Amino acid sequence: MTRCPEKCGKQWRPKQGKPEWQKQKEKMAKEEAGKKREKKAERQKKRKQKKERTIEVKKVAKEWKIWDEEEEIVKSEIEAKKLVPEQFYRWIKIFGKK
């Protein structure tokens, strides 16, 4: 019971509550809002995981690229070591004996 001094003076009267259908409608709206928040949080979590996976893949690809470049450098150095002595000895044979 509530008191309404403006309308009733000092008399007490029962408080008028919301009808059941309004209460049920508000309850359903709150549940829907909760579900939407959960879905949004889930989508954001999936996006974050996807972004993290993409970053990992990019890092791995970058490492592979660096590794490939290093491998090519090593191969070219080995080839250079093989070619330099051959050409050096040819040069000695040609110009060394005079």
CA dist 79 to 12, 46, 82, 95, Å?
Answer: 104, 49, 5, 24
**DSSP assignment, residue 2?**
E
What confidence tens digit (pLDDT) does each residue in 28-60 have? 999 999 999 999 999 999 999 998 989 898 899
pLDDT band at 22 (very low <50, low <70, confident <90, very high): confident
Whether pTM > 0.75 for this model: the answer is no
Phi, psi of 13 (to 5 degrees): -140, 155
Structure tokens at 32: 């829907």
| Contact between residue 2 and residue 12 where contact means Cβ atoms under 8 Å apart | yes
What are the structural domain ranges in the chain? 18-96
